[in-house]
Structure 1
């Protein structure tokens, strides 16, 4: 199946000794992506990309939604690492892919910040 981490998960798993697998079906995947992108439109203030990580800064008002997003993504994409920090002004979610998923990172991060999936990576690589 597919999950919020993108359709690349199954192919990445086939190429790796580690199990990189997602657990959502196609319709749940579409709903998850729509939800993530709606949250980004409402509250995402900044995004930074490295080859294996994506740092997303949301407005403080989005803490509950970002926390729920993180828990949902942890459930279906357990191979990704999530770090959530908040302060009085912002909520920062950092998503990190393992080295074994490096080739799939663009697809893994695309739905969180599509404009950064490839363009920002080229600038920071």
Structure 2
């Protein structure tokens, strides 16, 4: 919600202007300054980027590949893909990472109430695969 609030604050201040928008700025700053903090998304993207720099790119798993041609369909592209929205709880237990990275965990939820809920959901979905 922080990014949405910051964007809304920016838009409101742009339209209203100073000095009238100082209360909007003040409320936004207080909200953001006192809200729970986490760098889990930051560390996740940095870990993924470091892995790509270290190992290079890996091929996209065949079930995730698009098959716009007859040849690609014959090669099995997309055959085993499971549409997550059709799964129980909008989840399917399928691998999205290349085989060489299977089981690699980039995102480690932080230790705050919101991310504790995310951790529990990930644990319920993935069981022991990613050790959440």
Q: TM (normalized to structure 1)?
A: 0.27
Q: Which protein has the bigger strand share?
A: 1
Larger relative contact order (CA 8 Å, sep ≥ 6): 1
Rg comparison, structure with higher value: 2
Q: Which protein has the bigger helix share?
A: 2
